[in-house]
Structure formats: structure tokens, C-alpha cells
């Protein structure tokens, strides 16, 4: 990955804002020309008008100067306001591109990447990029024009003196290049530390109820302090290099001034230049130094912006769920599901297969139950059906279509999932139920809520369906959240239903209430149910006992009891504990 590549990727983002950007650049150009005119006028006033007492010329010169200042003020306003506008619009473009891309990334991406780090990419990094986007070209352009202009003027005043100044410039450049490499490394470290801090905060705030319950505030603070200290370490590394950078740059600039005074003084002494030329020279050196300073100071910005842009590209380069161009879009699926010799392992631990050679068939409208010890791979099997992860080998078909040939949207529209931990979005109850079908009418939403046994509860709330559920639904109980998610599934009305330990987290009384709704929900649908309370799976058409070693037993409840194996043991154990 060469820097060149990133630049090539960066430039197209200017395109939609080209007009503003050009206006911005034109302003920058005019300002830099003005910068070159001031010393000229000043020189004329000091050298000619004042000594020769040319009052009107002097006043005219000053008037011109004042006019330039006023125009420059206006131009600076445009530059500040519109320049930033270009930056912020580009930032918004990138952010929505990133957001849309995130919506398409596979589950495995989110298994590996922390929310806080992603957030830091979306806010911090993009901000830095937008700062670079306009200050970068603007300042570079303005400075380069001023520097070139000043050099040309210097050359016309005295070639030798100008060459002495030229000679100092390569030294500055070499020094900048050397420190540049170090700067790059430390600024990447800072970015990582910043991302970690954000991830820590995200995790600590969303887990605050758990840490309070465990009295773990001190532990959390300690953990946070570690990340915070790491941030200070990384940042102090950055400031150290920055300190070296700025102090040496400043020294060189001061030295430039010194060199000109010395050389100019000697030239004057030996009558190579006159007083007027000497004055002009010193004035132009000042003009020259300020853009060099600007270039040096936007250096950090360029570093930060480029690092941010690389991270942006990293996310954009993460492979989205790829959609087959010839994907099938069958109208309605009946819901017959077949696993044929399926093997799958999570990418994160290469080699270890969670399920291997797994086969099962759920005829349309029938119910199959997965039971067995935790960690056996039941949830994994559930996640393979909507193609949240790709199988390593074997095939999964729905109605005879291999799911990898089906359009993902169509496939997922046909599958309803009710899981143990329900995720509710911050918003109203209505919005959360409507997640099942955004086009649903009010009546349909109420109907779904009724079927899920939650309508009465909702009507008892002061705000009814407009009640806010809080972040992740914290304002509802576990059973209520679960019923909202069941209402969602009713509204979606899919032919295939996956119930993954939907009632496992609930107490017996609540479970009974929900069981009722679930039984109703699974009527007429192909259902895959995972449950650890075996009483709930007794009526399944087939029960499969999944263990980390593979399928231990399969058959109907009666067959498995008769087999006198693992299932019977589990069943009796639970029965005893009732
Ligand atoms: P069950 O639902 O039967 O309790 P799971 O399907 O959740 O089991 O997990 C099966 C195995 O896969 C476990 O060993 C678990 O550690 C592993 N696993 C589950 N989810 C992931 C994931 N996202 N990334 C890596 N490994 C996972
Ligand atoms: Mg599970």
C-alpha cells in the first residue's frame, strides 16, 4: 500500500464539492498574491515616498495597503467559512459511505472489531480527514505560491543574496523529512490508543449496570486508567517528536533571518546593495518565513489526516457480504430446510470446527429441536441458516435452493429469529415492533402485539405504544422485551422461525406466558427451536442432541427416552428438579 494509492483514493471525494473548493483555492491564490504586494508597497513608502517627502504618493500607497487589507479580510472570511464547509461536507460524505458499508459487513467483522474503535473511526478520524481536506490544499497552495513569488522577487533584488537563502532551504527540507517518518509512527500509535479509550468507555458505559452490581467501579476505573495512561504515553511520544520538529524548524527559520542580516549587512558594507534593497530583502524574508511556518505547522495535520484516511480505507476495504450477481429471488419460500454434511468453524480460530459433517432436514411446517450442553454449536447452526456466516463445506438449502445462491435479502426476509438476549433499539415500543415490517399499519402492529401477549401491558403504560424503551430496552423487563421481539416476529410473518433459547433467561411464570405466544407463533411455520428446558421441546418432530463432539442422538421424544441415553439422562435430571 503506497501513499500514492491513498492520495488517488482521496481526490475523488473533492468532486461533488469542486465548485466551492475552486472558490476556496481562488481566494487562497489572491491572498498569496496580496502577501507579495504588501512588502513592495512598504518598500516604496520607506525607500522613496518618505525620504523624498512625496506626501500624495505616500497617502496613495497607504490607501492601497488599506484597501488590500479590507479585501483580504473578506477573502479570509470566505476561506474560513467555505473552506471548512468543503471539509465538513466531505466528512459527511465519507461518514455516510462508511455507515452504509458497515451495514453490509459480515458478522465476522463485528466479532473481531470493537464498537468503540469503529466509533472513533467514524468521528475522530473523519474529523481529522476533513480538516486535512481543506486546510491541506489551501495552506499548501497559499504557501507554495507565496514562497515561489518571494523567491522570484528576491532574485530580482540580488541574485547572490537570494542564493544564500536558497541554500538554507534544503537543510530545512532534509530535517523535515527525517522527523517526518518518526512523526508518522507516533501518530499511528496515538490513533490506536484513542480508539482503545473509546472502546473502553463504550464497554464500561454499556456494562455499567453489571459493574455496579459487582461493586466493580474501582476495577473499571483501574482498567480505564491503564488505557488512559497508554494514551498519555503515546501522546507524549508524539509531542516529543513534535517538539523536536517545531523547535528545529523554528531555529532554521530564525537562522534564515540571521543569515540574511549577516550576509545583507556585509553586502551593504561592501556596497553590493543599497539601503533600499536591503530593506526590501528583509521585508521579503519575513514574507517568505511565514508560509514556511504554515507548511511546517500543517505537517501534523497532514499526518493525522492521512493516518485517519488509511484507517477509513481499512474499513472500506473489509469485504462486505458478497452477493452473487445471479442470486435467485424466489417469490415465496415454503421453508423446507436441509443441512447436508455441513462443516463450519469461526475464522478467528482457524482449524477448529464448531460443527462438522452436520446433516438434518426440517420439512416445511415441521419443528426440529436442538438440545445439548452449552457450547455445542446450537446457536452457530441457527446463525448459518440466515447466512450470517458462510459454511466451510457442505450445503444448506431452503426449498431446494442452496442458500448461497439465494439473494440474502430474500432469504432473511423469510426467516424470523427470536433469541435469548433481545436487542431493542432506543426508540418507542411501536418503532421496535415495526422493525418486523416497516410498512406495517397501526392495526397490524397492534395485532402482532396482541398475539405476543404484550398489548395489554403496553396499553397500561402512560404513553402506550409511544413509550420509549431506553437504550437497548433497559426500561422493560426481560419478559417484556422478549414479547416485543415476538411481536416483531409475528409482524414479519416469515415461513421459517428460529427460536434460540428464547425463554431460557426467564422465570417459570413468565416463560409460561411466553411459551403460549411462541406456540402460537410457530403454528404452520418451519421451526428450529433451541431450548434447554426439555419440557418445551417434547412435541418437536425430531430432537437432535448436539454436543461439542457432534450429534450424540436424534429422534422423537419417545424414541430418545427409549434409547436410554444422554437425552433421557438430561430429561430425568430436569424432571427431578422441577
Ligand atoms: P451453543 O449455542 O450450543 O451454546 P454456540 O454455537 O454459541 O454454542 O458456540 C459453539 C462454539 O463456537 C463455542 O465453543 C463458542 O466458543 C464458539 N463461538 C461461538 N460464537 C463465536 C464467534 N462469534 N466467534 C468465535 N467463536 C465462537
Ligand atoms: Mg446458544
Q: What is the pLDDT of residues 502-517, one digit of tens each?
A: 887 777 778 877 888 8
What is the CA(530)–ligand 2 centre distance, in A?
A: 8
Verify whether ligand 1 is closer than 6 Å to residue 112 (CB atom): no
Neighbouring residues of 445: CB distance < 8 A, sequence distance ≥ 6: 430, 433, 434, 465, 487, 491
What is the CA(94)–ligand 1 centre distance, in A?
A: 34
What is the CA(361)–ligand 1 centre distance, in A?
A: 22
Q: Which ligand is nearest to the CA of 109?
A: 1
Verify whether ligand 1 is closer than 6 Å to residue 388 (CB atom): no
pLDDT tens for each residue of 517-562: 888 888 889 999 998 777 778 888 999 999 888 888 999 999 988 9
Between 364 and 351, whose confidence is greater? Answer: 364
Closest CA to 34 of 162, 156, 145, 155: 145
Verify whether ligand 1 is closer than 6 Å to residue 494 (CB atom): no
Q: What is the DSSP string of 57-105?
A: HHHHHHHHHHHHHHHHHHHHHHHHHHHHHHHHHHHHHHHHHHHHHHHHS
The minimum-distance atom of ligand 1 relative to the CA of 530 is: 2
pLDDT value at position 577? 59
Phi (first) and psi of residue 343, to 5 degrees: -125, 135
Taking residue 51's Cβ as centre, other Cβ atoms within 10 Å add up to 11
Task: Tell me the average pLDDT across 173-198.
Answer: 80
- Mutate which of 354, 421, 550 to test ligand 1's pocket (most atoms within 8 Å of Cβ)? 354
Q: Which ligand is nearest to the CA of 371?
A: 1
pLDDT tens for each residue of 51-97: 888 889 889 989 999 999 999 999 999 988 998 999 999 999 999 99
Q: What is the C-alpha separation between 59 and 51, in angstroms, rounded?
A: 14
Q: Which residues pair with 406 in a beta bridge?
A: 328
Nearest CA to ligand 1 atom 14: 375
Phi (first) and psi of residue 535, to 5 degrees: -60, -30
Nearest CA to ligand 1 atom 6: 377
Closest CA to 91 of 305, 304, 303, 301: 305
The minimum-distance atom of ligand 1 relative to the CA of 383 is: 6
Helix (H) or strand (E) holding 375: none
pLDDT value at position 486? 92
Closest CA to 198 of 129, 128, 121, 111: 121
Neighbouring residues of 447: CB distance < 8 A, sequence distance ≥ 6: 490
Per-residue pLDDT band for 466 (boundaries 50, 70, 90) equals very high
The minimum-distance atom of ligand 1 relative to the CA of 374 is: 4
Q: Which ligand is nearest to the CA of 421?
A: 2
The minimum-distance atom of ligand 1 relative to the CA of 346 is: 25
- Mutate which of 375, 385, 504 to test ligand 1's pocket (most atoms within 8 Å of Cβ)? 375
Per-residue pLDDT band for 3 (boundaries 50, 70, 90) equals low
**pTM confidence score:** 0.80
Query: Is the confidence at residue 180, as pLDDT, over 80?
Result: no
pLDDT tens for each residue of 116-157: 888 888 888 888 888 888 888 888 888 888 888 888 888 888
Between 92 and 242, whose confidence is greater? Answer: 92
Q: What is the C-alpha separation between 483 and 473, in angstroms, rounded?
A: 12
Query: Is the confidence at residue 578, as pLDDT, over 70?
Result: no
Verify whether ligand 1 is closer than 6 Å to residue 412 (CB atom): no
Q: What is the C-alpha separation between 338 and 522, in angstroms, rounded?
A: 18
* Distance set, CA 534 to CA 95, 141, 161, 404, 557 (Å): 48, 73, 94, 33, 10
Amino acid at each position: 500500500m503506497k501513499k500514492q494509492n491513498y492520495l488517488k483514493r482521496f481526490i475523488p471525494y473533492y468532486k461533488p464539492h469542486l465548485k466551492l473548493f475552486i472558490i476556496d483555492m481562488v481566494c487562497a491564490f489572491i491572498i498569496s498574491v496580496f502577501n507579495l504586494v504588501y512588502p513592495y508597497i512598504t518598500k516604496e513608502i520607506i525607500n522613496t515616498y518618505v525620504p523624498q517627502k512625496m506626501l500624495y504618493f505616500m497617502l496613495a500607497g497607504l490607501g492601497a495597503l488599506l484597501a488590500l487589507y479590507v479585501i483580504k479580510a473578506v477573502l479570509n472570511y470566505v476561506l474560513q467559512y467555505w473552506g471548512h464547509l468543503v471539509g465538513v461536507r466531505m466528512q459527511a460524505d465519507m461518514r455516510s459511505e462508511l455507515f452504509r458499508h458497515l451495514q453490509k459487513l459480515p458478522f465476522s467483522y463485528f466479532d473481531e472489531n470493537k464498537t468503540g474503535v469503529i466509533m472513533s473511526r467514524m468521528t475522530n478520524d473523519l474529523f481529522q480527514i476533513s480538516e486535512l481536506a481543506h486546510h491541506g490544499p489551501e495552506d499548501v497552495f497559499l504557501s507554495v505560491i507565496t514562497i515561489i513569488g518571494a523567491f522570484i522577487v528576491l532574485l530580482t533584488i540580488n541574485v547572490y543574496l537570494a542564493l544564500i537563502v536558497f541554500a538554507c532551504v534544503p537543510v530545512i527540507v532534509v530535517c523535515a523529512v527525517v522527523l517526518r517518518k518518526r512523526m508518522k509512527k507516533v501518530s499511528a500509535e496515538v490513533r490506536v490508543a484513542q480508539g482503545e479509550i473509546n472502546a473502553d468507555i463504550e464497554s464500561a458505559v454499556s456494562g455499567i449496570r453489571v459493574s455496579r452490581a459487582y461493586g466493580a467501579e474501582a476495577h473499571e476505573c483501574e482498567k480505564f486508567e491503564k488505557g488512559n495512561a497508554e494514551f498519555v504515553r503515546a501522546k507524549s511520544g508524539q509531542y516529543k517528536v513534535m517538539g523536536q520538529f517545531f523547535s528545529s524548524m523554528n531555529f532554521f527559520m530564525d537562522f534564515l533571518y540571521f543569515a540574511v542580516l549577516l550576509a545583507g549587512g556585509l553586502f551593504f558594507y561592501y556596497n553590493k546593495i543599497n539601503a533600499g534593497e536591503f530593506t526590501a530583502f528583509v521585508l521579503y524574508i519575513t514574507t517568505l518565513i511565514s508560509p514556511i511556518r504554515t507548511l511546517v505547522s500543517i505537517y501534523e495535520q497532514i499526518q493525522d489526516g492521512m493516518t485517519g484516511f488509511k484507517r477509513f480505507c481499512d474499513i472500506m476495504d473489509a469485504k462486505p457480504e458478497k452477493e452473487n450477481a445471479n442470486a435467485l429471488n424466489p417469490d415465496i419460500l415454503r421453508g423446507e430446510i436441509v443441512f447436508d454434511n455441513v462443516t463450519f468453524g469461526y475464522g478467528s480460530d482457524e482449524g477448529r470446527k464448531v460443527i462438522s459433517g452436520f446433516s438434518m432436514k426440517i420439512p416445511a411446517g415441521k419443528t426440529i429441536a436442538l438440545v445439548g450442553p452449552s457450547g455445542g454449536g446450537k446457536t452457530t447452526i441457527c446463525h448459518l441458516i440466515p447466512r450470517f456466516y458462510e459454511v466451510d463445506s457442505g450445503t444448506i438449502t431452503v426449498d431446494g435452493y442452496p442458500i448461497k445462491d439465494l439473494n440474502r435479502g430474500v432469504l432473511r426476509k423469510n426467516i424470523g429469529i427470536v433469541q435469548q438476549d433481545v436487542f431493542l433499539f432506543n426508540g418507542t415500543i411501536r418503532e421496535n415492533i415495526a422493525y418486523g415490517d416497516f410498512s406495517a399499519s397501526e392495526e397490524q402492529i397492534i395485532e402482532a402485539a396482541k398475539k405476543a401477549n404484550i398489548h395489554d401491558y403496553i396499553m397500561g403504560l402512560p404513553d402506550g405504544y409511544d413509550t420509549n424503551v431506553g437504550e437497548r430496552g433497559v426500561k422493560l423487563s426481560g419478559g417484556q422485551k422478549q414479547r416485543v421481539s415476538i411481536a416483531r416476529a409475528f409482524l414479519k410473518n416469515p415461513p421459517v422461525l428460529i427460536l434460540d433459547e428464547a425463554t431460557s433467561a426467564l422465570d417459570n411464570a413468565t416463560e409460561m406466558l411466553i411459551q403460549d405466544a411462541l406456540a402460537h407463533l410457530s403454528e404452520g411455520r418451519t421451526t428450529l427451536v433451541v431450548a434447554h428446558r426439555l419440557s418445551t421441546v417434547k412435541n418437536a418432530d425430531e430432537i437432535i442432541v448436539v454436543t461439542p463432539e457432534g450429534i450424540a442422538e436424534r429422534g422423537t421424544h419417545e424414541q430418545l427416552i427409549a434409547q436410554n441415553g444422554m437425552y433421557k439422562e438430561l430429561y430425568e435430571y430436569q424432571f427431578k428438579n422441577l
